[in-house]
Amino acid sequence: MSRPAISVIVPFHNAVATLGDAIESLAASSCREIEVLAVDDASTDGGGEIVRGFAARDARFRCLRNPANRGVSFSRNRGLDEAAGDRLAFVDADDRVSPDWLAHLLADARESGAEVVIGRSRRVCGGTESVYRMEGLRRRGSLDFRQIVFKDNSVVWNKLYAASLIRRLRLRFDESLSIGEDLLFNFQALHAARGIFYGGRGSYLHRADNPSSLMRGTDPAGRVAQYAPAGASGCRGPCRRPAEAPRPAQSGPRPADGPLPFRHSPPGSRHPGVDPRPVGNPSVSRPRQRVPQESAPPPGRPPPHAGLRHLSSAADFFCLFAFTMVVITSIVWML
């Protein structure tokens, strides 16, 4: 087999229900200058047999199996290590491509000379196809990094990358991330790419209703919870502040008088607000300071600073609300 023009990397794990359709769509591609590297991430449902069946009939297909379940980033990186093509594409195991998808990407890459080419996508939900709207992708032509960075173009499955770009940057997927690895990969690739081009031809059919695929749920509110960091028990639910541990009892004699450290400064101090005198030193005399007593508020008026005890909980709620709105806004752009 001669050097392929495109290496297509398909990571999968227990995806027997959809993997056959994905591989079949690649086999039907009008672009014959391809190799398909299907990386089996230690599946237990027999999905690897589907790929090996294709490989027995078509030398362009190869099945690579991980000895243990390592995740999508590890599997994609293994595909990058094995790829021999001049350009690289990624297809998810529950998606499909139209027969002309890869051929159009390759033609646009050769015509434009861009190191990253973006193709058209369609969204499949409940058996119905619709246009997958992505910000910045409106008309065929060259794109600027700033037009698409940090927008809904963070996915890798709608792009064709020059292998020379990946090698030049020594680019890899971060295996420590369980979400957002596409965003980080694309930020580096698109920022350094010598040309970005949107072709808008062919169709990548992206399934948005697969409950077993991360961030594919149809309910945006339900998907927000997946952004919350996992706790000690691995829970992906809403983030909660851990209970504060009891403070240890103070050892040694407590000073009977004198100002507290970092509260008052002796006259002429070079650092206002910092008391350089050691705490608890009996050889240093400290004059007792009176704490002014607040007078009782008039009847009908709330005591001063009555709401400060609620400030911490209010600030926490505001931060969580702001974070949730940012995430929901990002998800709405993707729909």
In a domain, 239, yes or no: no
Residues of the chain with pLDDT under 50: 214-247, 250-266, 269-285, 305-312
The pTM assigned to this predicted structure is 0.65
Contacts by residues 42-47 (CB-CB < 8 Å, ≥ 24 positions apart): 42/13, 42/66, 42/67, 42/68, 42/69, 42/70, 43/12, 43/13, 43/14, 43/15, 43/16, 44/14, 45/14, 45/15, 45/16, 46/16, 47/12, 47/13, 47/14, 47/15, 47/16, 47/19, 47/93
Per the listing, tokens 């027969």 go with: 99
In a domain, 271, yes or no: no
**143 shares a domain with 78:** yes
**212 shares a domain with 139:** yes
40 contact partners, CB below 8 Å, separation of at least 6: 12, 13, 47, 48, 51, 63, 64, 65, 66
In a domain, 203, yes or no: yes
Instruction: Give me the pLDDT at residue 2, please.
Output: 83
174 contact partners, CB below 8 Å, separation of at least 6: 73, 181, 184, 185
Sequential DSSP letters for 36-74: EEEEE-S-SSSHHHHHHHHHHH-TTEEEEE-SS---HHH
CA 333, CA 36: separation in Å to the nearest integer? 31
**51 shares a domain with 193:** yes
CA 145, CA 148: separation in Å to the nearest integer? 6
Instruction: Give me the pLDDT at residue 144, please.
Output: 85
**84 shares a domain with 166:** yes
**177 shares a domain with 224:** no
Domain count for the chain, please give it.
Answer: 2
Instruction: Give me the pLDDT at residue 220, please.
Output: 36
Instruction: Give me the pLDDT at residue 109, please.
Output: 97
**206 shares a domain with 135:** yes
**134 shares a domain with 81:** yes
How does the average pLDDT of the chain come out, rounded?
A: 76
Instruction: Give me the pLDDT at residue 28, please.
Output: 96
In a domain, 86, yes or no: yes
Range of the domain at 326: 218-230+318-335
Instruction: Give me the pLDDT at residue 210, please.
Output: 72
Q: Write down which residue in 160, 187, 217 finishes a domain.
A: 217
In a domain, 270, yes or no: no
